[in-house]
Amino acid sequence: MSGGAVVCLLGPTGTGKTAAALALAARFKGAVVNFDSRQVYAGLAVVTAQPTPGEQAACPHRLYGFLPPCEAVTAGAFIELAAAAVEQVQAAGGLPILVGGTGLYLDSLLGGLAPIPEVPQTVRMAVQAACQSLGPEALHARLAEVDPAYAARIHPRDRQRVTRALEVYRATGRPLSAWHAEQAPGRPRFAALKIGLRLPQEALKARLAERIEAMLAAGALDEMRAALERCPDEDAPGYSGIGCRELIDVIRGRMDLDTAKAQWLKRTRAYAKRQLTWFARDPDIAWFAPGEHAAMIRLVAERLGEEGRGHEG
């Protein structure tokens, strides 16, 4: 299925994608569609940096904060939800603006995921039992032996992704990263204009440190406490995002706040570096600095004009 045009705002965390999305939405009758794998979780709006209520009121927003932290969502399921949201925006005459930093999700949404064979229940139960007895870190070490590329992209305590990757490997004999590298046959699902935002490393480091302080000032610690009251499982899928583990350790008395902030920043910088590495391989991305909204608007207007699909307003 090949659809109409979409704009994709991507790049490392903390580079101003939300502000750029709002500027584009105001100009082109846009609606923002989330493709960040952590911003789907309810009750974690601050720590996962979801758009604020005021930002979401500025234009339609889809797929933010809809899933309880204790529930998992597969990449395939989320991609289908995102595709449906994009098609609904297009059907209403709007311009879908995909916003996020999960490169795999974007590639899969635009090109389609190669179907992964069903994992037998016996395999799934065996992997889940091993995780229960040995812990996710031990299984992550096993995963690093058979699928080092995927293991390097996920946290050792991300039980959902660790077990899923091992289940797929045991059931198919192929690493999950190999399946992810394959696109479904056929034409691209949507025609995408990709806009990337990036900063020099030192400027990004300072910005990320300020962002963590802003999250704490906005109540991230209290937000995490409330989430744990509703879903006390520290290994819940919704808590695998950066910042959640550090805040949980502070709440449980395993770490002081200063140490947690340092660890949070270190992991965030490493994640931003991985995001840049992922997106750097894509020659179709037009790169901008944060705040260059006028230049982004000119590019989108030009591209939409070429396609005969201007959204004046």
Contact 32, 51 (CB under 8 A): yes
Q: Which amino acid type is present at position 312? A: E
Is residue 313 in a domain? no
Query: CA 40 to CA 44: how far, in whole Å?
Result: 9
Query: In the structure, what pLDDT confidence band is assigned to residue 311 with cuts at 50, 70 and 90?
Result: very low
Q: What is the CATH number of the domain that holds 131?
A: 1.10.20.140
Query: CA 59 to CA 31: how far, in whole Å?
Result: 6
* Residue 310 confidence (pLDDT): 43
Q: Are residues 147 and 256 in the same domain?
A: no
Q: How many domains does the chain have?
A: 2
Is residue 72 in a domain? yes
Q: Where are the alpha helices (DSSP H) in the chain?
A: 17-28, 53-58, 75-91, 103-111, 121-134, 136-146, 148-151, 159-172, 176-180, 201-217, 220-230, 244-251, 257-280, 293-306
Domain containing residue 24 = 5-113+183-306
217-273 per-position pLDDT tens digit: 999 999 999 999 999 999 899 998 899 999 999 999 999 999 999 999 999 999 888
**Phi and psi (nearest 5°) for 288?**
-140, 160
Query: CA 204 to CA 210: how far, in whole Å?
Result: 10
Contact 4, 303 (CB under 8 A): no
Query: CA 168 to CA 120: how far, in whole Å?
Result: 10
- Mutual angle of helices 257-280 and 103-111, in 10-degree steps: 30
Query: CA 33 to CA 13: how far, in whole Å?
Result: 16
81-103 per-position pLDDT tens digit: 999 999 999 999 999 999 987 77
Q: Are residues 281 and 154 in the same domain?
A: no
Query: CA 313 to CA 292: how far, in whole Å?
Result: 20
Query: CA 108 to CA 188: how far, in whole Å?
Result: 10
- Residue 171: pLDDT above 50? yes
* Residue 255 confidence (pLDDT): 96
Is residue 201 in a domain? yes
* Residue 176 confidence (pLDDT): 87
Question: pTM higher than 0.75 for the full model?
Answer: yes
* Residue 312 confidence (pLDDT): 44
185-216 per-position pLDDT tens digit: 556 778 899 999 999 989 999 999 999 999 99
Task: Find the Cα–Cα–Cα–Cα dihedral 189, 194, 200, 205, rounded to 10°.
Answer: -50
134-163 per-position pLDDT tens digit: 999 999 999 999 999 888 878 788 888 899
Q: What is the CATH number of the domain that holds 51?
A: 3.40.50.300
Query: CA 144 to CA 156: how far, in whole Å?
Result: 10
* Residue 309 confidence (pLDDT): 44
